[in-house]
């Protein structure tokens, strides 16, 4: 009779498997390390380059509060947006605090569509002024946690202007701040159509790092997905997936561009929306492409501005679109106007507080190995933890709530939610 401990494989067989899969092991570590658990802003605000000035985030917060106060107050807006009655007071209080203390999480100073073509002299002056104002904002502690610029794309008509803007902005910023650039700096490469444009961006950043005395690979960037050629290429490939692995690990995000992408497909202006089926397809491809890479996906924007008699309808639309994005795991989006901020934060906070007691109870049971009610697997526990991490990082859930309900620190929660390879 064969012994229960007998084995047909020996060490040579195991070594064969290790050697045969060494390349796969290396690929998984280098190309699919997983999310690092760092904070992802829940929105990006775009401001034309000539309108940016130090302290603008605070002014946007004041304008947002003024808009809701003119409507009847944040409490009324929260109620009108259909938030659960038990959460209305908490969400209203935290949104008001947010609009006062940190109304903009991620700010992009825009020298692309939001600035247009005003000639080299005007753009040069605006770029230098914006970089100097950002340095002032950083020195005063009034800059958002994440910030940067969007410059013109690398298609032939605008390539040299875009590269010059990138150069002037970073050279001016380093001159004002020194080489110890803040970690929140983000650069945005728009209207990408080919992998080669991303490769050129990488080479240009390498040269800027060398010439400005920055540490190697200090500069990263996000890619705006605004053309169908990036979703499916001429040869039937998926360039949006390939470019992530040809960028030296510098790509931090893929941002969906609602209106350029829709227009490129011939979608009529009235039907151009974040929830159009064409938008859903593009974002699903983006989502699959970034899975496991640590690169984040951002949804686009709505251009319907809450104002006048139509303000409530616009807030309801925006809140619904924000909720829809969050339900599809697009945890970031664009906001184009101060009046978008209240509905952004109300919808986001309501999402992250929905069922939070049940989530924390299940996670505590998992941590304590209590099988009462659910037999959650590690993958489910990671999802539960990731939900709470985003809730805490956004301000929807307080650190004290987390400590009392789960009994772990935020750092421990991040480690549970985002285990890294290697």
* Domain end position, chosen among 316, 335, 353: 353
Mean pLDDT, the chain, integer: 93
Higher pLDDT, 371 or 96: 96
Tokens of 68: 């809701």
Does 340 score more than 60 pLDDT? yes
> Could you read off the pLDDT of 12-22 as tens digits, one per residue?
999 999 999 99
- CA–CA dist 61, 50 (Å, integer): 19
Q: Name which of 265, 326, 332 is nearest 299 in CA terms.
A: 332
Q: Which domain holds residue 403?
A: 356-417
Question: In percent, how much of the chain has pLDDT > 70?
Answer: 96
pLDDT tens digits, 48-104:
999 999 999 999 999 999 999 999 999 999 999 999 999 999 999 999 999 999 999
CATH number, position 135: 3.20.20.60
Q: Does the residue 3 lie in any domain?
A: no
Total structural domains within the chain: 2
pTM across the whole model? 0.93
Whether residues 155 and 299 fall in one domain: yes
Same structural domain, 345 and 363: no
Predicted confidence (pLDDT) at residue 157 exceeds the cutoff of 60: yes
The sign one gets for the Cα dihedral 187, 245, 238, 280 is negative
Question: pLDDT (tens digit, 9 = 90+) per residue, 200-231?
Answer: 999 999 999 999 999 999 999 999 999 999 99
pLDDT band with cut points at 50, 70 and 90 for residue 377: confident
pLDDT grade for 371, boundaries at 50, 70 and 90: low
Q: Is residue 64 part of a domain?
A: yes
Q: Identify whether 223 is part of a domain.
A: yes
Find the range with the poorest average confidence among 61-65, 203-207, 367-371, 379-383: 367-371
**pLDDT confidence of residue 373:** 58
Q: Are residues 289 and 393 in the same domain?
A: no
Q: Is residue 34 domain-resident?
A: no
Query: For residues 392 and 402, is the Cβ–Cβ distance under 8 A?
Result: yes
Residue 106, exposed/middle/buried by CB under 10 A (0-12, 13-18, 19+)? buried
Chosen domain end from 314, 338, 353: 353
| Long-range pairs, 356-361, Cβ under 8 A, ≥24 | 356/388, 356/391, 356/397, 356/401, 356/405, 357/405, 359/384, 359/387, 359/388, 360/388, 360/401, 360/402, 360/405, 360/406, 361/405
| Residue 129 vs residues 49, 54, 134, 181, 409: alpha-carbon distances, Å | 9, 10, 9, 18, 42
Question: Does the residue 10 lie in any domain?
Answer: no
């Amino acid at each position: 009779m064969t012994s229960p401990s007998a084995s047909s494989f020996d060490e040579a067989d195991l070594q064969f498997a290790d050697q045969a899969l060494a390349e796969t092991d290396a690929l998984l570590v280098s190309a699919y390390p997983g999310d690092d658990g760092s904070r992802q802003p829940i929105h990006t605000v775009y401001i034309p380059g000539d309108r940016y000035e130090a302290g603008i985030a605070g002014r946007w917060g004041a304008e947002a509060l003024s808009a809701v106060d003119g409507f009847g107050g944040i409490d009324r807006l929260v109620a009108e947006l259909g938030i659960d009655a038990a959460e209305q007071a908490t969400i209203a209080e935290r949104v008001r605090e947010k609009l006062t203390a940190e109304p903009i999480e991620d700010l992009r100073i825009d020298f692309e569509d939001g600035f247009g073509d005003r000639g080299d002299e005007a753009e040069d002056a605006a770029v230098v002024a914006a970089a100097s104002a950002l340095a002032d904002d950083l020195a005063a502690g009034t800059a958002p946690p994440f910030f940067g610029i969007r410059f013109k794309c690398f298609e032939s008509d605008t390539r040299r202007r875009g590269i010059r803007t990138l150069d002037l902005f970073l050279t001016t910023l380093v001159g004002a701040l020194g080489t110890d650039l803040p970690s929140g700096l983000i650069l945005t490469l728009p209207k990408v159509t080919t992998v080669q444009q991303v490769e050129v961006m990488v080479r240009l950043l390498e040269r800027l790092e060398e010439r400005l005395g920055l540490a190697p690979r200090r500069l990263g960037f996000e890619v705006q997905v605004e053309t169908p050629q990036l979703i499916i290429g001429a040869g039937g490939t998926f360039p949006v997936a390939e470019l992530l692995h040809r960028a030296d690990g510098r790509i931090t995000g893929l941002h969906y561009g609602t209106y350029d992408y829709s227009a490129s497909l011939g979608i009529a202006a009235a039907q151009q929306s974040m929830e159009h089926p064409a938008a859903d397809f593009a974002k699903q491809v983006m989502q699959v492409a970034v899975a496991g890479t640590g690169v984040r996906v951002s949804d686009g924007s709505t251009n319907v501005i809450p104002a006048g008699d139509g303000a409530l309808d616009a807030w309801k639309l925006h809140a619904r679109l924000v909720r829809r994005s969050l339900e599809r795991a697009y945890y970031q989006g664009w906001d184009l106007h101060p009046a978008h901020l209240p509905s952004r934060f109300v919808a986001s906070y309501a999402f992250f507080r929905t069922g939070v007691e049940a989530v924390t109870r299940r996670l505590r049971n998992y941590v304590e190995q209590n099988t009462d009610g659910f037999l959650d697997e590690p993958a489910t526990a990671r999802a539960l933890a990731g939900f709470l991490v985003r809730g805490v990082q956004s301000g929807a859930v307080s650190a004290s709530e987390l400590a009392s309900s789960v009994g772990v620190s935020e750092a421990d929660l991040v480690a549970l939610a985002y285990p890294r390879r290697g």
